[in-house]
Amino acid sequence: MMLKRWWLFPLLAVFGVVAGIGIAAVLTYLKPKTFDSTAMVEIKPDGKVLGPFGTDPPTRNGNFLKSQMLRLKSPNLLLEAVKEGDFKAKWLIDAEKAAEILNRSITVTEVPGTDLLTIRGRHTNREDARDMVLSLIAVYAKQRKSSGATAPQKAMAELGKAVREQEDRVEERRKELSEQDGQKDLLHREFRPGERLDPTEDYTSKKQQFEADLELLQTLKLKYVTERVTLQMDDDPVVVHEEPQLAMVPSGPNVAKNMVYGMIGGFLVSQVIALLLAMALPGRD
């Protein structure tokens, strides 16, 4: 019986596809446009200071970027970003609701194979999409500078203390050598069998200790100067490689995708209706 109604399937398929496209077009038109604004940033670890005697503390592990991505979406930072961008007044809502909007609207992703992150803001207002990203980056940079300022300075203070202590040690060795300066003439004298060599050996040992301590002092001073310059140059924990811009073209809704979904949906619904009609309509003998 159903085979006699085969013409219902192609006929309703045409109407279904047309109706699906029409409905998708109306819904797409009614849906508000959204705009994207994206920044590309480099997140640097806290300033590194070498240990006084050449041991380098670890500065970054494999989860560093992932931990900072979570920090960028943390509730406390989002609330501070709301305050930074004055979104509470712009959107006429309380700070918690504004922070929820930021959490939904901002996407943070890692650029594969690099130390870079992309921060994308999406909103129906193109200015707000950009300002959300700018506010988030500004607040994050402030918090990182505030929390990371103590450790490098403390490490530099320890390194400076090591330099001063080594200077005192070198000066002490120098005084010991000056007190035994006359004994260095013994190095060129011929000793008789059985004569003690202790004074000469003592002078030689102290001279070697002095030279070793002096060399270590020069190494510490060089390290101190190098690290101080490095900290001054590496003061900003965030480097913005690509500033967020005002979007000239809306990112959504996706008209082409909606049309395809409407076409497929209309076709499938039409075939279900055609099947039901073919089963329900009375047949002819």
The residue extents of the domains of the chain are 10-31+256-285, 151-186+198-233
* Per-position DSSP letters for the chain, written without gaps between them: -GGGGTTHHHHHHHHHHHHHHHHHHHHHHHSPPBEEEEEEEEEPPSPP---TTSPPPP---TTHHHHHHHHHT-HHHHHHHHHHHTHHHHHTS-HHHHHHHHHHHEEEEE-TTSSEEEEEEEESSHHHHHHHHHHHHHHHHHHHHHHHSHHHHHHHHHHHHHHHHHHHHHHHHHHHHHHTGGGGGGGGSPPPTT---HHHHHHHHHHHHHHHHHHHHHHHHHHHHHHHHHHHHT--SEEEEE-----SS--BS-HHHHHHHHHHHHHHHHHHHHHHHHHHSPPP-
231 pLDDT band (50/70/90 cuts)? low
132 pLDDT band (50/70/90 cuts)? very high
Per-residue pLDDT of 9-58, as tens digits, reads 888 999 999 999 999 888 877 788 999 999 999 988 865 544 444 444 44
Tell me the percentage of the chain whose pLDDT exceeds 90.
41
* pLDDT at residue 54, as a whole number: 45
* pLDDT at residue 125, as a whole number: 95
* pLDDT at residue 267, as a whole number: 93
